[in-house]
Structure formats: structure tokens, C-alpha cells
Structure 1
């Protein structure tokens, strides 16, 4: 496995409805609209639902691979082992699959998913939470929240990130740590009583830069989902970090699960490498 520098964000502009949009970009556009206007707590333009989310889920042609889903923000990975230390720190190791990579429930065990090389139009970087020989246990971006899986092979690139994002819900506070030292701290807005921000260990999944004007110039999706909304506006209910123009919301529990951050916080967080750990606690 090749060792690289910490992965940077891959910013993808989201085309407007008037632009000609290729198939891959249409998926990115739809996700961005849902994240910014839906689960992120803007004025909803679609109804929330407790039904199952239907999202893109491709299958590989290899033997057995067609029977398992891709591990993306759109999918549910049945049989994926639960994260056993949802409040635990890591050593910063993150991994990128160079191509579609099988995910197993244990080293040498049953295949439960395929981890694609890209997520939401950018490279897939996931945090390693446990190692056993050449095997790496990583967090997955799929439902249910806290899903993990084991991957191995030569087609993996690794890097280390010194950053951890900590969100303390009761204090409405987000702290950015670099090499275990405070690099920034901000008061934020979190999910409301009926749509709380989910607790646990997750990670920075992607960066979306909507081309059309939205409440936030950047949206940073996480590898976790709303625990009360299975879908929102037709999307998978992905939770994200993003900005908000009305500063009076900071310090309040008013969103549909996303975490609204001040402008300077968003600017700083946009430079944190993909795959960096996000710890959300009570």
C-alpha cells in the first residue's frame, strides 16, 4: 500500500438546472440540493419521510459482487459490523481504494459491500479504526450509522491526517484538533429535538461547492445520516457541516440534523483532509 500525503478536498461545482448535465454530474447536483435545502435544515422543498431511501447503487460484474451494494451515502449495508468504539480516537490513518474494493464483515470473512474509488464525484477516503495484519477495518459512509468493514489488498493508498473534528451537542460547540491540540473552536447550530444530530464516530466524506447560490458556499457531507429521517426531499438524509447566513442560529438546536457553522469555521474546515475523523458526542 502506497503512503501518501494527507488527502485534500476535491471540490466539485454543482451545475445549475439550465446547464447541460452529464449523468454522473446529475447525481452530484441532486445530492447537493438535498444536503443544502433538505437535511441540512433550510426551508424544505420536499417532504421528509420515514420510508426507505432509494439511491444510486451500482453493482460490480465480478463473481459474487453483484449480490452486495456499494458502500456509499445512498446505500444500506446489511451485515456490516458495528463500530465498537464510537467515541474513540484513531492514529489518523486513512485509506483510499484505487478501484472497487471488496468489504468483508471480518478478515477473510463474508463479503458485505464494495467500496468504490469515488464518493459524490470526489475520491473516497475513509478512516482506519482497527488493523489486523494486512487487513484494515474502516468506517463506511452507508446506513446504518456506525457501519464498518474490513478491506485489504495492494490497490489501497494510505495517508495520515493530523486533524480530528469534535462536536459537543449539549454545548453547541465544534472544536478542530490538529495533532491533539486545539486549532479552532466555534459555537454551532445542531439538530432540533425531533431531528437530532446523530452521535458517534464518523468522518469527512466529500466537499460540494454548489454553482447556484445557496445558504452555504460549501457543503461538507459526513459519513452519517439522520436517525429520524430516512429520506428528505428524495435524498438519503446525509448529515453535513455547512455555513448559514443568519448568525442568530448559532448556539441553537434548530436544524434537521446537520451542523451549521460560522463562516470562518467553514473556511478552516474546508482545508481539513477527507477521511478525517469527526466525533459527535452528547
Structure 2
């Protein structure tokens, strides 16, 4: 097996989700009225405590921000004031957090509240990657527009569940290649289809947002929406234009630009991702080059 370099440190139905690049018409690939599956726990994703450095005592009186009118940091939302990811080429270290109640997202430690992070996304629990931390604060990737959005969560003001994963997904658009790593070892690599030049697959680091199934569609037994959106379509079939990883019923789409932004993968890749013994967990970091 090939060895992956260590990642950089710190680094049910839904009424209508439409994924850019998912449709049965032309090159599009739109998902109609999807139903999520409940993702299983993956090896290496047992709950763990946040680092000691995140448990510093509160030195000032707790200030509860006014959350009225704040946008939701979800695949349907836009957080206009979200800080941009400063190192989009780095793979997060695999620390993930899940809000047990909706929590405020801040623009910086001790700064202004800019959004609310919900407890679920598309029927799956919200798990977001941690990309930086400090006393009482963690910076996370957000699944909202614009792409590359991040935000800070206070570990003092809210209860956050935490776990870690050693899974990483790397997608090389030029080589039409998706590789899954676990414990820095290559688990599988597959030739895939990516977005066309008119609707490219967006680059940068993101994460697996949810795991979904839909009996009404036939192109993929499971779909993995990601925390990024099409840069071509501000909306797609009336939805937010979420980019995802999914299968396809024919093989002619692999090894070339063939979608409206989604990553189309072979059946054996999906089988590996959904292996009951070691499924790819929600929140798994994804790097698109």
C-alpha cells in the first residue's frame, strides 16, 4: 500500500436537496427528494476528549451573542462574513466536532457572531473538521457558501462532542483520480469523472457532509454531499448547487470531465466507502487538487 504523508497539524428525507453535477439529463446530476442513511461509526472515530489547550478557564464573563437573524451555516446557507480558509491545500489532522445544540459561529476568537451551526445536515449529524485551535476556541470548516468558509466555535459557551478519524480523501482533478487513505495508508484508488471546464469541480479542502440514499433515483446507491458548492451554478434545479461524490450506471464517464461538478466514482469505490466494518465517517476531510 502507498503511504500518505502525515496531514498538516490542526489542521431523510429532505424536502429538496439538489446536488450540482447529479442528474440523469445530459451531463447534469440532480438529486430529487433524497433520503439520508444513518452513517455508522467508523474505526478510529470513537468519541475523544478535546485537547487540554481547549479547556482553558474563562477569564471574562460569558457574553451570549444575539443570534436573531443570523444565517445558518448549512449547505443551504451563505455566511458572507465568514473568514476564508488560509491554507486550502492542507489536509486537516482529522479532529472533528459535532454541536449537540445549535451553536453560534464567530468571525474570530471573542469576535462577532456571524452564523449558527445546526446539529444536523441533510439528515446526518453535523461533524465539521477542526483546522486550528486556541485557548477556549476552535476554528472549523463550514459547509455554507462561499466555498472555503470557516468559523470559530467557543468551547466555553457550548458543549461540543469530539472524535477523530484517520480517513482522508484526495481527489486529483487533472489525473481523474480519487484516493482514500486510512492511517496514512492507501486503502483504494479509482479513476473517476469530474466536472467539465464549463462547470468544474471546485478545488480546495472540504469534508464529507452527509451520507444519503434515495430509492427514486437509479444512478447511485449512496450519495455523499460535500461541504462545497458549484462555482458555476448559484442554484441548481432550485437548490443550492452542492457538490457531491456518487456513483454512475455507466463507465464511460470515468477518466474524463463528465459532470456538472460532482465526482462520479465506480461501484467498488462506493462499496469501500460504505463497508459496514469500516465506513468512511461523516466529517472525513477531503482535499480536491
Taking structure 2 as the reference length, the TM-score comes to: 0.79
Partner of 1:184: 188
**1:26-175 equivalences in 2 (<5 Å):** 28-31=14-17, 34-35=18-19, 39-43=21-25, 64-153=66-155, 154-175=158-179
8 Å CA contact retained: 2:21, 2:195:
no
Partner of 2:284: 276
Structure 1 residue matching 2:75: 3-state secondary structure:
coil
8 Å CA contact retained: 1:39, 1:258:
yes
8 Å CA contact retained: 1:45, 1:233:
no
How far 1:177 moved relative to its partner? 0.7
Structure 1: give runs of 5+ residues left out of the alignment: 1-11, 13-24, 49-61
C-alpha separation between the residues in 2 aligned to 1:42 and 1:195? 16
Residues 1:101 and 1:182: Cα distance change in structure 2 (over 3 Å): same
8 Å CA contact retained: 1:190, 1:257:
yes
C-alpha separation between the residues in 1 aligned to 2:253 and 2:26? 17
More helix by share: 1
8 Å CA contact retained: 1:195, 1:256:
yes
8 Å CA contact retained: 1:40, 1:259:
no
Partner of 2:225: 221
Structure 2: give runs of 5+ residues left out of the alignment: 1-11, 31-63
Q: String of CA shifts for 1:84-111, please: whole Å, max 9, x gaps.
A: 1101122210000000011001011011
Q: String of CA shifts for 1:13-34, please: whole Å, max 9, x gaps.
A: xxxxxxxxxxxx4xx1421xx2
C-alpha separation between the residues in 2 aligned to 1:45 and 1:145? 23
Over the aligned positions, Cα root-mean-square deviation in angstroms equals: 1.8
What is the aligned residue count?
A: 238
1:208 aligns with 2:222: no
Taking structure 1 as the reference length, the TM-score comes to: 0.81
C-alpha separation between the residues in 2 aligned to 1:164 and 1:29? 30
More strand by share: 1
Residues 1:260 and 1:99: Cα distance change in structure 2 (over 3 Å): same
Structure 1 residue matching 2:74: 3-state secondary structure:
coil
How far 1:248 moved relative to its partner? 1.3
